[in-house]
Amino acid sequence: MIDISEYVKRVASRTAFKREFFIEKNLPTQPGAILAIPFFADLKSTIVMSSFLLNNFKQVSRDRYLILCSWPGLHGLFPYVDEYWSLTDNSALKSLASEANNFYNTSALATEIGRGVIEGFDVMMARDFQKFFNKGFTETFWQTFTEPQRFLPQVPSPTLVVGDFKSQMDRRSGNKIVVYPAAKMRSWQLGRSENLSISKEFWKTLIERLLSEGMVPVLYQNWFTHDMSPEFADRCIYLSPRNILDVLAAIRYVGCLLDIHSDISRLALAARCPFVGATERKIFIEDHDFAIDDLMADGLQHEYIFTFSTQLMVAGPDEWSVCLIDQLIKRLKEFFAAKVGGELPSANISSTDMCYDRVRERKARRCGKAFIKASKEK
């Protein structure tokens, strides 16, 4: 008889994964009961997978032992899976992050990883989940998950945030804001959204401006971002814990997040933290970002500036200021002035019925940027 525990260990070792979470006694007796999911998508697709897809898939696949193979430290977004594997090679992570685009990862390394996992288990790939969500929820989603639920993770108390982050926050005066210096930005290209490279110079210009306006940037850095620490040293606060729940707790404690064409606001939604975002109107509508907001924000304070990301990928500081930064600073000042001391939405873990009635629908005829509330039966 096969020793299933040893078998799983061998597959993980052969594919260079670390078994980040598992409960030994819950292992099935046969490998055929295991379903592995290699998933190295971008940030927005990871949050969609966490909140809307994989939790519902688990409910209709109770007879399968799910192993999610993904980014390090993100198990907190997927506590309902049976086992969580992650890669620990930083060079491999950088390579994967550079090619993450929507649900797909186009790197040769991602293909190699997928082939290695297939040799050991039955596998579902990213394309298998796109049948449920492709620029919005598909008919297959509603047909498969007749009573779908929205999942939100538990956000720890800020007193549990690792290191001296809280004390750094308390020592610095001024409005704090989480900034995510993404190496790529979202852009609408040839009928779909793509992640395109953005220079480090743009982030230097933006962060310098925030500092000159008396704001305190809290830089969240990971495999998807530029490293801004050489340029700003101790002038900013840095947020880089590997555990995603610590990241969510820190974001919520800061109380405001800035999203510049990077979809980091999806993480703010998971943290139940207010945010200000700059995005392309075409992406906001065609990729149904408005639907994710309506399903996850629950009255959370948030607003957008609609602009083109390609304007930030060319030109220089003067043009960046005119096309976005000046307007952004004005909006942030208004945002901070308007903030009241009301309670944020609950940080407790939740799995609630997904009421689609709250989602805005576009009007059939062109009406500028108008949206209306409409009931949508599924």
Question: Can you name the residues that pair with 35 across neighbouring β-strands?
Answer: 66, 122
Q: Is the dihedral of CA 19, 98, 255, 234 positive or negative?
A: positive
Alpha-carbon span 329 to 326, nearest angstrom: 5
Closest alpha carbon to 248 in 126, 374, 158: 158
User: What does the block give as tokens for 194?
Assistant: 């793509």
CA angle 313, 297, 256 (to 5 degrees): 55
- Helices assigned H by DSSP within 199-275: 200-212, 229-232, 244-254, 265-271
pLDDT of residue 373: 38
The mean-pLDDT minimum among 3-7, 25-29, 281-285, 335-339 falls in 335-339
Domain boundaries 158-347, CATH class: alpha beta
Cβ proximity of 157 and 249 under 8 Å: yes
CA angle 6, 10, 12 (to 5 degrees): 115
CA distances from 329 to 212, 224, 258, 333 (A): 11, 24, 11, 6
Alpha-carbon span 334 to 336, nearest angstrom: 6
The mean-pLDDT minimum among 73-77, 132-136, 278-282 falls in 132-136
Cβ proximity of 305 and 327 under 8 Å: yes
Percent of the chain clearing pLDDT 90 (strictly above) = 76
Q: Where are the domains of the chain?
A: 4-151, 158-347
* pTM check: above 0.75: yes
pLDDT of residue 57: 97
Please say if the pLDDT value at position 129 is more than 90.
Answer: yes
